[in-house]
Structure 1
């Protein structure tokens, strides 16, 4: 083989190598694009299937009503409700002689809590898990006014605590699960006037 033939063979091999790399990159980019499109479609479908919940307070009865309006295609859904504080108090610095972070965490900073030990509520009244719901099902959960913390002292301590949340909304997380689907986390702010709160903001999307 002459020098010219050798050069041609080398160039041909190099070209083949570059072509193979280019083909691999094109294939990878196509796969990445397909994966991205598929993920976008899955996210869109997940959002469209967001459980439609309605929550309503009947404070005089000591009840929170929860209704699942659909979509029926989800079948049964499991819902865990968690009372949210008025704001994230884990960011509040502890003051000398004041409440400890543990005491703050053990306080429900809002107007209501779930009745401890009833409907599966925990002992703090922070979370509750009602029975599974199907479309158009409704359930009710026992609630109580939140307890004032021990450092709201004095004869007017209870009044100050009640006044703090007299018109505040009952803030909740609703974590929903349905078989074959990724979970949903919804946020609710339920008014105290007896109006229904519709499905809240979808969190984490």
Structure 2
């Protein structure tokens, strides 16, 4: 019986060709995956480098009101933010989960601003609870003022000294904010911020 060497050679060539093709596909896949990983790392680095930088201050106002100034100071390559959403969060780290029967509900606890200031009702698109204002845009180097007012004690805290105790609770606490920032073609940035209450404002409000 003769051995079909020509056929064997053809099969061998085809097998080697298939192996070469598979190897090239595998190499291309690995290369694409590496390129994708590098691109992802680069996007994350660029996103981190462009994290918005703010200068946020409180200035004394009239009566129980003051002015919160939010200024976008950098980084310069960021150029602008299409939308900034500012929200007031608790000035302390207390866990306020409704637990007591007959006490305030979780909805009531969440609606209360736990800190020295809230956004002024009816100003700057503030919500009913005074926790947030309408989103706005800024370019680097520009800012916006917002009207804020002293918070009032919750309605479930009663007694002749309720307001005084509430005021004393926040006298040395900062105003805490979370700024959620968006710009086209980028993932959002979430920037926490603590704003010191100036001494002249604290003294005035204690009077």
The TM-score, its normalising length taken from structure 1, stands at 0.81
> What residue in structure 2 maps to residue 2 of structure 1?
3
Instruction: Give yes or no for the alignment of 1:66 onto 2:70.
Output: yes
Aligned to 1:118: 123
Shift of 1:3: 5.8
> SS of 2:100's equivalent?
coil
SS in 1 for 2:197: coil
Structure 1 65/11 Cα, relative in aligned 2: closer, same or farther at 3 Å?
A: same
Deviation at 1:74, TM superposition (A): 3.5
Quote the residue 2:189 is aligned against: 184
**Any idea what the Cα deviations from partners look like across 1:11-64, whole Å, max 9, x if unmatched?**
544443333333222211111110111111112112222222100112455111
Call closer, same or farther: CA 1:20–1:93 in 2, change over 3 Å.
Answer: farther
Q: Give the secondary-structure state (helix, strand or coil) at the position aligned to 1:153.
A: coil
Hey, what's the Cα distance between the residues in 2 that align with 1:94 and 1:24?
Answer: 60
**Aligned residue-pair number:** 193
Distance 1:130 1:138 in 2: 13
Corresponding position of 1:102 = 107
C-alpha contact (below 8 Å) 1:113/1:125 kept by paired residues: yes
Q: CA RMSD in A?
A: 2.5
Deviations 1:151-177 (A, max 9, x none): 212222222222221111111011122
Find the counterpart in structure 1 of residue 146 from structure 2. Answer: 141
Shift in Å at residue 186 of structure 1? Answer: 0.5
Partner Cα distance (2:13, 2:152) in 1: 82
Structure 2: state its 5+ residue gaps.
200-207
